[in-house]
């Protein structure tokens, strides 16, 4: 996914140096995928009749990958678009047919950890985006400081979108695994509206506005843990049905 986002950032054309760098990264990724596939083939023992899932990953592709004719020609390796062998990549019923339930359980637990990590990263990115808007954008007193402040806001916004793309991938895998449906039911989609910084986050004097209900992921899992070193500028205060992030 990271390489897909890198390809997207290059645009439709890129320099010779960028093409060489991309080719080198793709070769390294291809080598890692080959090593993984050799190892997983010993564990999963798939047969010639194995059916694969055709997952609907439209939102992820829109965020993390574009069609680049000049880069995606036949002479280019495109390992970032290869499907990795995992239980979640199998078609419905294949896990049971191949007796891969134990391996699917392991992937499900790893995916749950991925969800927790990405949602924590998302909350952190949005928190820093909010703090940056409040402390830098509003206090900018020149064109240079204004541009720098907005660059920081865009950086944190890009980080939040990267976390969302990873979350969607993990959520989709859990949905296909059909393990722990009660947990999967708690995982909702994250929209562009959810990534916006509410006015109540950036102005402590604003209460009771339409934005007074934060998105669901602020209340998911360990959302109230503020012990991280990058969260020292912020604190969480609790209100019924919501978690509010306010400046100290």
Taking only the tens place, the pLDDT of each residue in 175-221 is 999 999 999 999 999 999 999 876 555 555 555 555 457 789 988 87
Question: For helices 101-132 and 143-177, what crossing angle results, to 10°?
Answer: 160
pLDDT at 120: 96
Residue 28, pLDDT above cutoff 50:
yes
Domain-wise residue ranges, the chain: 2-85, 103-247
CA–CA separation, 191 vs 188, rounded Å?
9
Taking each helix axis from N to C terminus, what angle separates 16-44 and 2-10, rounded to the nearest 10 degrees? 160
- What's the rounded mean pLDDT across residues 34-48? 91
SS3 content of the chain, % helix, strand, coil (to 5): 60, 5, 35
**pLDDT of 13 over the 80 cut:** no
Q: Residue 76: left (phi > 0), alpha (psi -120 to 50), or beta? A: beta
**Over the chain, what is the mean pLDDT?**
77
107-121, 159-173, 206-220: lowest mean pLDDT where? 206-220
Cβ atoms of 160 and 118 closer than 8 Å: no
């Amino acid at each position: 996914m990271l390489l897909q986002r890198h390809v997207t950032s290059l645009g439709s054309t890129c320099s010779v140096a960028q093409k060489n760098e991309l080719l080198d990264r793709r070769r390294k990724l291809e080598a890692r995928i080959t090593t993984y596939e050799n190892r997983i083939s010993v564990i999963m023992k798939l047969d010639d009749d194995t059916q694969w899932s055709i997952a609907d990953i439209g939102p992820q592709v829109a965020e993390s990958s574009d069609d680049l004719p000049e880069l995606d020609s036949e002479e280019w390796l495109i390992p970032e678009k290869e499907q990795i062998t995992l239980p979640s990549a199998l078609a419905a019923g294949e896990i049971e047919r191949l007796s891969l339930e134990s391996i699917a359980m392991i992937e499900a637990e790893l995916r749950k950890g991925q969800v927790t990590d990405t949602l924590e990263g998302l909350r952190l990115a949005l928190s820093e985006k909010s703090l940056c808007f409040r402390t830098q954008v509003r206090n900018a007193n020149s064109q240079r400081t204004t541009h720098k402040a907005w660059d920081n806001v865009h950086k944190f916004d890009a980080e939040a979108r990267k976390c969302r793309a990873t979350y969607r991938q993990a959520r989709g895998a859990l949905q296909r695994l059909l393990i722990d449906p009660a947990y999967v039911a708690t995982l909702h989609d994250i929209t562009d509206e959810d990534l916006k910084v509410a006015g109540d986050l950036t102005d402590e004097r604003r209460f009771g506005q339409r934005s007074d209900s934060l998105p669901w992921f602020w209340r998911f899992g360990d959302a109230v843990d503020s012990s991280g070193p990058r969260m020292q500028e912020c604190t969480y205060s609790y209100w019924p049905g919501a978690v509010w992030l306010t400046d100290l």
